[in-house]
Amino acid sequence: MTDIALGFRNADGAMRPDLTRCLDFMNRTPFFRRYKQETWDALQISGNSRILDVACGVGFDVIELARRFPDANVCGLDPSLGFLELARQRAQGLANARFVGGDSRRLPFGDGRFDAVRIDRSLQHISAPVEALREMVRVTRRGGRIVVAEPDWGTFFVYNGDLASSAKIAGFWEKSFANPYIGREAGVLLQQCGVESIGCQAQALVVRDEAAADIIFDLTRVTDNCVAARVLTQVEAERWRLATQAACESGAFLACLNIMLWDGSIP
């Protein structure tokens, strides 16, 4: 059994088209653009700032920052060769955007190389996330900025009227993440890594459309996986799908998740 969350642990695997579709869909939505803008503002970019986007995926944030701040140098790092190839294609013509391959837990940069470093919805998939945060701190100059945006899957729920099956599906999906509670834990980890003046805010993602929820939360595949794992019976799964259809028709369908935004400075 696999799903989108497990697929991100090996983004060059068979699920890469699904992963790209998911990322592109989210990057087009107003909610994701709004909270990403908050993270960009928290970087405090000015002049020829040197910015690093860790686990940059298909390069959306690198490209947007390079366009908005033409004097800045923006670098994206990702372990996926497929994502990097697509990112480079999409960044053609942007001389101040570049992409490198690498592991977020062993960044291929010298100490204090960047003015600001961000990571967005990737620590949830990374084993030993504190190692990635320590590396982000290491490559950031004194006085520089660290920005982290991560979901807290303990806040995730789907509502269609079938509370029992929805809770089972949400709980099963949560187990697909290496660090499902990293959204709430990131502040403590940043403090352990020496980051100071740490700020926090929560952004609530609210999805009322089943098709959008299926892309973002992989509901169809996760429900099938619940049946395969005997978390749900086939009858319960079909009843849940019918409840979802009815809730969408009546306007009652709801899927929610909190994304936590953390930022701080290197002393």
Span 43-85, pLDDT tens digits: 999 989 999 999 999 999 999 999 999 999 999 999 999 999 9
The number of helices, as runs of H, and strands, as runs of E, in the chain is: 11, 7
Q: Which CATH architecture fits 4-265? A: 3-Layer(aba) Sandwich (3.40)
Stretch 244-259: mean pLDDT: 97
Output the average pLDDT for the chain: 97
- Whether residue 95 contacts residue 29, with contact meaning beta carbons closer than 8 Å, is answered with no
Distance CA 183, CA 255 (A): 18
| CA neighbours closer than 13 Å in the CB half-sphere of residue 166 | 16
**Pairing between β-strand 254-265 and β-strand 196-207 as defined by DSSP bridges:** antiparallel
pLDDT band at 124 (very low <50, low <70, confident <90, very high): very high
Residue 1 has pLDDT above 90, yes or no: no
pLDDT value at position 172? 97
pLDDT band at 3 (very low <50, low <70, confident <90, very high): very high
Stretch 232-243: mean pLDDT: 97
Identify which of 158, 255, 257, 148 has the alpha carbon closest to the alpha carbon of residue 204. 257
Q: Mind listing the pLDDT tens digit for each residue in 171-186? A: 999 999 999 999 999 9
pLDDT value at position 37? 97
Share of the chain above pLDDT 70, in %: 100
Stretch 2-10: mean pLDDT: 93
Q: Mind listing the pLDDT tens digit for each residue in 22-43? A: 999 999 999 999 999 999 999 9
Tell me the domain boundaries of the chain: 4-265
Q: Mind listing the pLDDT tens digit for each residue in 185-236? A: 999 999 999 999 999 999 999 999 999 999 999 999 999 999 999 999 999 9
Q: What H or E segment, with its residue span, contains residue 166?
A: helix 163-174
pTM: 0.95
pLDDT value at position 68? 96
Read off φ and ψ for residue 55, nearest 5 degrees.
Answer: 55, 60
Task: Compare 60 and 1 and report the one with higher pLDDT.
Answer: 60
Long-range contacts of 7-14 (CB under 8 A, 24+ apart): 8/122, 8/125, 9/125, 9/178, 11/57, 11/78, 11/79, 11/80, 11/82, 11/83, 12/80, 12/81, 12/82, 12/83
Would you state the structure tokens that stand for residue 109, as one six-digit string?
């940069």
